[in-house]
């Protein structure tokens, strides 16, 4: 492992320079400046010196967290690259002096995070920072707030790196374990080979067809197919507004119960409860805009029966994936930004540790990841941890002024679905 002096002495060598990947250049494109926020709730007060010492031995030694972005060339031909630099932790760790008896500490943390996002990260140093807030909230004794530019990696890789900085609380020397997808056992029978062959052909044809439909929908969305205006659809320029970050924890065991009963995945369940929660939330929002009469109309559209939501609403979400290669990053960024501007929201999920872990000796109560910067008024992130699932909402408060009500609606939808599954007898021996 190179020392700081070695890095400084050889900084100008080619071995310490690396061109930005297509994904990194994509997230550095104009009007697509995307950041990741990761809030770590701890069960004890945070010892700043211990955290600094831990970061020196782990995160700071990672090449991306010890590199800054430099730009060579003129305005017509810019060459961006990562260059190794000596990291001064005092420039990256912020420890504000806080009143331990402050009123409404949860609201204070939310406002603090929102204010942090008002200013961009300094390009003259590695694009990350950590705020340590020794303030007791409703679900933690102290809070750590990571802010990382999305060009340094995707959410899954950065959360994995963060987990690599933790250890099991039960075994301080052991890394946390995360769920691994089980491979189905081979049950192939030579007598069924004929049918397996046709099944494989059918699956291939379905893949080709679904890919063609997705490409056509993406092109149409980029050119003209816009989501209809709803109370949660942001106006042009929404990415420039200061966002609000809220989270709420639900039972992962309830999600797994529904998953097993319905023979689906965790992603299917969280997508379903998000859709159901949005329906509940929108129904309540539309109540205030409905008019009287035998046939109520909202924004020129007839409402559904037993609901205040207009019929035929097109409300779509997107799951963002890594950009591996592209002929023109600026063009690709402009196209994807236009497509995102025409839809309503984004959703993602990240798998966390299966047992309680500690952040440099500080037991973790919860993890809550957020994303801001895309032209969307609502981004929903799910993060599992032990037997909990954290729902994290990034919202534009001018569009969604009551995000906790949306969190409650998603949680209530999970309870209703679980109740229906149990009542139908799909799961037995459930308390």
In the chain, % of residues over pLDDT 90: 51
* Element (DSSP H or E) covering residue 143: strand 142-149
281: confidence class by pLDDT, cuts 50, 70, 90 = very high
Residue 324 scores a pLDDT above 50: no
- Pairwise CA distance, residues 22 & 326, whole Å: 7
Angle between helices 266-287 and 252-262 (to 10 degrees): 110
Which residues does 215 contact at the CB level (< 8 Å), separation at least 6? none
The per-residue pLDDT for range 138-175, each reduced to its tens digit, is 999 999 999 999 988 877 788 788 888 888 888 888 88
The pLDDT value given to residue 242? 95
Q: 283 or 293, which is more confident?
A: 283
User: Which of the residues 92, 131, 149, 150 is marked catalytic?
Assistant: 150
The per-residue pLDDT for range 29-72, each reduced to its tens digit, is 777 789 999 999 999 999 999 999 999 998 898 888 999 988 87
* Element (DSSP H or E) covering residue 211: helix 193-223
- Pairwise CA distance, residues 377 & 344, whole Å: 7
150 is catalytic: yes
Residue 194 scores a pLDDT above 50: yes
The pLDDT value given to residue 322? 45
Residue 227 scores a pLDDT above 70: yes
74: confidence class by pLDDT, cuts 50, 70, 90 = low
Residue 114 scores a pLDDT above 50: yes
Q: Lowest-confidence range among 7-11, 109-113, 220-224, 264-268? A: 7-11
Q: Give the full edge-to-edge strand order of the sheet including 317-318.
A: 244-251, 388-395, 378-385, 345-350, 317-318
294: confidence class by pLDDT, cuts 50, 70, 90 = very low
The pLDDT value given to residue 156? 75
* Element (DSSP H or E) covering residue 129: strand 128-133
Under DSSP, is residue 145 helix (H, G, I), strand (E, B) or coil?
strand
329: confidence class by pLDDT, cuts 50, 70, 90 = low
In the chain, % of residues over pLDDT 70: 83
Residue 274 scores a pLDDT above 50: yes
193: confidence class by pLDDT, cuts 50, 70, 90 = low
360, β-bridge pairs: none
* Element (DSSP H or E) covering residue 334: helix 329-341
The pLDDT value given to residue 187? 53
**For residue 401, what are its two tokens?**
């002024």
pLDDT mean over 69-98: 83
What ranges in 230-323 are assigned the alpha helix state H?
Answer: 252-262, 266-287
**CA distances (Å), origin 140, targets 120, 125, 136, 208, 260:** 27, 31, 6, 48, 31
Residue 311 scores a pLDDT above 90: no
Angle between helices 403-423 and 252-262 (to 10 degrees): 50
Residue 304 scores a pLDDT above 70: no
The pLDDT value given to residue 400? 96
pTM: 0.85
Query: Dihedral of CA 63/68/74/77: which sign?
Result: positive
pLDDT mean over 322-351: 74
3-state secondary structure 87-98: CCHHHCEECCCC
């Amino acid at each position: 492992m190179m020392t700081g002096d070695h890095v400084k002495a050889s900084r100008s060598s080619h071995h310490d320079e690396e061109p930005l990947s297509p994904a990194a250049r994509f997230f550095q494109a104009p009007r697509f400046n995307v950041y990741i926020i990761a809030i770590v709730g701890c069960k004890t007060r945070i010892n700043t010196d211990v955290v600094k010492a831990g970061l020196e031995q782990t995160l700071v030694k990672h090449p991306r967290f010890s590199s800054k972005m430099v730009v060579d060339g003129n305005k017509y031909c810019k060459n961006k690259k990562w260059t190794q630099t000596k990291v001064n932790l005092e420039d990256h760790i912020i420890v504000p002096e806080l009143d331990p008896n402050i009123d409404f500490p949860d609201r204070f943390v939310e406002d603090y995070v929102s204010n942090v996002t008002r200013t961009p990260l300094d390009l003259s140093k590695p694009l990350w920072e950590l705020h340590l807030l020794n303030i007791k909230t409703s679900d933690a004794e102290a809070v750590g707030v990571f802010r990382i530019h999305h060009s340094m990696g995707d959410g899954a890789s950065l959360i994995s790196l963060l987990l690599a900085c933790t250890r099991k609380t039960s075994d301080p020397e052991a890394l946390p374990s995360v769920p691994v997808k089980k491979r189905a056992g081979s049950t192939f029978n030579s007598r069924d080979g004929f049918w397996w062959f046709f099944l494989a052909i059918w699956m291939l044809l379905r893949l080709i067809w679904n890919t063609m439909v997705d490409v056509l929908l993406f092109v149409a969305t980029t050119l003209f197919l816009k989501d209809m205006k709803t109370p949660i659809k942001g106006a042009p320029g929404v990415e420039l507004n200061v966002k609000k970050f809220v989270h709420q924890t639900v039972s992962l065991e309830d999600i797994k119960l529904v998953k097993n009963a319905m023979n689906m995945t965790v992603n299917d369940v969280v997508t379903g409860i998000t859709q159901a929660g949005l329906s509940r939330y929108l129904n309540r929002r539309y109540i205030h805009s409905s008019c009287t009469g035998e046939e109520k109309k909202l924004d020129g559209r007839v409402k559904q029966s037993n609901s205040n939501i207009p019929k035929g609403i097109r409300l779509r979400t997107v799951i963002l994936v890594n950009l591996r290669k592209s002929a023109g990053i600026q063009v690709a960024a402009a196209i994807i930004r236009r497509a995102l501007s025409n839809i309503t929201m984004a959703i993602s999920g990240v798998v966390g540790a299966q047992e309680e872990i500690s952040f440099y000796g500080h037991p973790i109560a919860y993890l809550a990841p957020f994303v801001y910067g895309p032209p969307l008024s609502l981004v929903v992130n799910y993060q599992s941890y032990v037997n909990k699932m954290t729902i994290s909402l990034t919202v534009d408060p001018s569009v969604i002024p009551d995000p906790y009500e949306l969190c409650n609606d998603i949680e209530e939808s999970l309870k209703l679905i679980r109740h229906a599954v149990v009542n139908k007898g799909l799961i037995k021996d459930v308390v």
